[in-house]
Chain A
């Protein structure tokens, strides 16, 4: 299933946050979106997932989600959004409970995602007992459980320390390699963007519009944490973003 975005603009009251976005999200690929803070990245993600309605323009699903997909557009949040009163397993089962699935099917789905995210030994732990990296793994497992058509990830690694981030990044890459999924990956971290993205778009500062699109041909599985090819892309992206980030940094906030 592809997602097509046409002439999308968005306002909060009178201030424009997104300006004429045109974009296609390709099936089985990861799209990275980067931009200075407050450029409307998260807003764009909320619009794609239907948590907000765009002020103008269209977001269209082309084709239909896979048959066993329970929730087409599925988020992974920066702050994990786990229910603290439910165990790991119950947090995953939460998103299956509203679908009329037999308990065997539910059991096998939960076992499968726990296995894929290496959480088997933690299924009865409460979120408060888990480290940040583990919490985000639970959130990933939960997202995988509904077999999403598109994964919408809002800075999923930003709340983690850099070593955990690297570990989780490797896990993401393995997960994608074993079973390619479609994803939109929002980040302000350039190296994450070039590690994961088949396509990378750069948003300008508010109101966000696309100022650059690059495609990286190198297969995701072959990209390394220290990688000469990726460095060039990263440097190119930083050259574009540098002035935008500088300008954003010295803006007064109207809050």
Chain B
């Protein structure tokens, strides 16, 4: 019967003009900037509505408008910067040490097979250690002050940077290196003019992960002994079960994360202009 239907269809369709159906829809990622604002807005609106009407108990979630009020209060009292300045300093110093060491060691691993064979297993062994567990050790080594915090953040951002860097160096187009050699370029020139720029996209995307880990470790370090800092502020709010302040602290961290991500995107746009 189906064949009969098919036959009659095909004979009937001869006189029907129909545009070719478009089947190539989707699978093309595009940026729709408003979408991210929209999602944030919906989440916050639901929370606000739920907490105001009492559907969400004030014990489980704070009211978003109260959290905003707390942040404004924090700003007006000047306490915000008292917490933010030492935190930013710790993040910048710690991450700078970890990332610069990480890029150096990662490049050396990528370039020399002896260093690679020697260090890759060591890095693999260090990577999964929760660095927070080592904090007591760092306190003994570098003191209870800033030193141990820098060390913790540095070690935490070091390992992912190393892994991203040597992976990126491995992926540099070998024909470009052969080209450099065939034109008699010095070793230094090949590294600085071919290997490092070629590895830059991989290194920068590794930095996104390294810096997120650095922020996580910043808070962990501050929770274990700091008078001022976002981590100390969150810990204090948590022990008093002050949800507004807890969420105010968490929001500040999220904003910090977004700022770091935007900064990396800006760097990428500037120095990776040559990519398609």
Contact = CB atoms under 8 A, between A and B. Distances in A.
A3 B189 CA distance: 29
A177 to B, nearest CB: 25
B183 A51 contact: no
Nearest to A90: B193
B195 to A, nearest CB: 11
Contacts of B2: none
Nearest to B182: A75
A85 interface: yes
Nearest to A84: B274
Interface stretch (A12-20, A91-99, A225-233): A91-99
Nearest to B173: A81
A81 B184 contact: no
Contacts of A128: 274-276
Nearest to B197: A85
A117 interface: no
A98 B274 contact: no
B184 A71 contact: yes
A77 B183 contact: no
B179 A77 contact: yes
B274 A146 contact: no
Contacts of A127: 274
Interface string B158-200: 0000000000000001011011011111100100011001100
A49 interface: yes
A51 B182 contact: yes
B267 to A, nearest CB: 14
Given A77-B175, A97-B189, A128-B274, A83 B182 contact: no
A9 interface: no
A70 B184 CA distance: 9
A70 B193 CA distance: 19
Interface residues of B, number: 21
Contacts of B178: 51, 77, 81
Interface in A66-87: 70-71, 73-75, 77, 79, 81, 83-86
Contact of B194 (A83, A98, A146): A83
A75 B179 CA distance: 8
Given A83-B197, A97-B189, A98-B189, A74 B182 contact: yes
B185 A81 contact: no
Nearest to B201: A85
A51 B181 CA distance: 8
A126 interface: yes
A30 B184 CA distance: 23
Interface in B248-276: 272-276
Contacts of A75: 179, 182
A22 B275 CA distance: 45
A74 B183 contact: yes
Nearest to A73: B182
Contacts of B179: 75, 77, 81
Q: Which of A75, A77, A83, A142 has the most CB of B within 10 A?
A: A83
Contact of A83 (B181, B193, B276): B193
B176 A83 contact: yes
A98 B175 contact: no
B243 to A, nearest CB: 49
A110 B104 CA distance: 34
A85 B185 CA distance: 17
A144 to B, nearest CB: 12
Interface of B: 173, 175-176, 178-179, 181-186, 189, 193-194, 197-198, 272-276
12 contacts: A51-B181, A71-B183, A71-B184, A77-B178, A83-B176, A83-B194, A84-B274, A85-B274, A94-B193, A98-B184, A98-B189, A126-B273
Interface of A: 49, 51, 70-71, 73-75, 77, 79, 81, 83-86, 94-95, 97-98, 126-128, 142, 146
